[in-house]
Amino acid sequence: MLINAVPQRQGAVGPRAAELPDGCVALAELAGHVLGRPVHHVRQTRSVSGVEGGVASRAELTGANRAAQLAALEAPGGPVLTIGGDCGVELVPIGVARFRHGPGLGVAWFDAHPDLNTAETSPSGAFHGMVLRSLFGEGDPEFAAAPALSPGKVALAGTRVFDPEERAAVSRGLVVESFDALTGVEKLYVHVDLDVLDPGEFAGVNYPEPGGWTIPGLVTALDALSGFDVVGAGITECVGTPREVEVLEPVLAAVGRLLDSR
């Protein structure tokens, strides 16, 4: 298993976005400790820019940051755990997994938000709210994945805040809302945005949303995926301090079990 720490913050525009790089480092260090693996720190710039083509910090997201992520995945030699940074970091590892494993790749998307906006529909211009839509090959061509994920092979979990266009994308079958509804999935990637958790359970997230899961509930849901062949995982949107992230040890251990079961 390879652990990549990707401290990208340009995909987020919220008040705590600037804390994402430090949160990434804190969580990655804990992951290395819990899983007993070295952590590879993928260099990312911290500069930001205005909205271009409906996407905030578009130049930074498509430039050196992306190139560094791609270089880090050239020869992983096994499953990869990506620690973000904002959810936009998932564009590269999931795109690479789709390229390597073919159209049977599925994704379990644990996230308070479906991240199914486009540059035209996003209320903020933040790319982390567009990344899953981009992985389906839609939206801005600079981000649209090719090959793309297949409709119906992504299951949302813990998702509770939808913009109108995101709800429309669910209604037309782009994603499903239960793991039981996944069909034809041969390999699985597991995405965990920590805002799937209730803020009262873990407050160190970039976009907290009430009504979330408990840590034991998330661990149970992750363990329930043990029947899948999990080829990669990502954990994102942490702004917690080293002391705060300690409560996430069970989540990291559960993700490690999925990746080590290959």
Per residue of the chain (262 residues), give pLDDT as tens. 999 999 999 999 988 999 999 999 999 999 999 999 999 999 999 999 999 999 999 999 999 999 999 999 998 778 999 999 999 999 999 999 999 999 999 999 999 999 999 999 999 999 999 999 999 999 999 999 999 999 999 999 999 999 999 999 999 999 999 999 999 999 999 999 999 999 999 999 999 999 999 999 999 999 999 999 999 999 999 999 999 999 999 999 999 999 997 5
Q: Measured between alpha carbons, how far is residue 46 from residues 3, 57, 67, 93, 145 in Å?
A: 21, 10, 15, 20, 24
Q: In what order do the strands lie in the sheet with 154-157?
A: 39-41, 2-6, 80-84, 230-236, 187-193, 105-110, 154-157
Q: What is the distance of C-alpha 89 from the center of its chain? A: 7
Q: How far apart are CA 6 and CA 20, in angstroms?
A: 10
Residues in the chain: 262
Q: How far apart are CA 158 and CA 50, in angstroms?
A: 31
The beta strands (E) that lie in 202-257 are given as 230-236
Q: Measured between alpha carbons, how far is residue 101 from residues 111, 176, 230 in Å?
A: 23, 21, 11
Say which residues have a Cβ less than 8 Å from residue 94's Cβ, sequence separation at least 6.
107, 135, 145, 149, 189, 191, 232, 234
pLDDT of residue 197: 98
pLDDT of residue 156: 98
**pTM score above 0.85:** yes
pLDDT of residue 75: 81
Q: Please tell me whether the peptide bond between 79 and the residue prior to it is cis, using omega within 30 degrees of 0.
A: no
pLDDT of residue 262: 59
Q: Measured between alpha carbons, how far is residue 122 from residues 56, 115, 128, 131 in Å?
A: 11, 10, 10, 11
Asked whether 112 and 158 are in contact (CB, 8 A), the reply is yes
Q: Please tell me whether the peptide bond between 139 and the residue prior to it is cis, using omega within 30 degrees of 0.
A: no
**End-to-end CA separation in angstroms for the chain:** 10
Q: What is the distance of C-alpha 75 from the center of its chain? A: 21
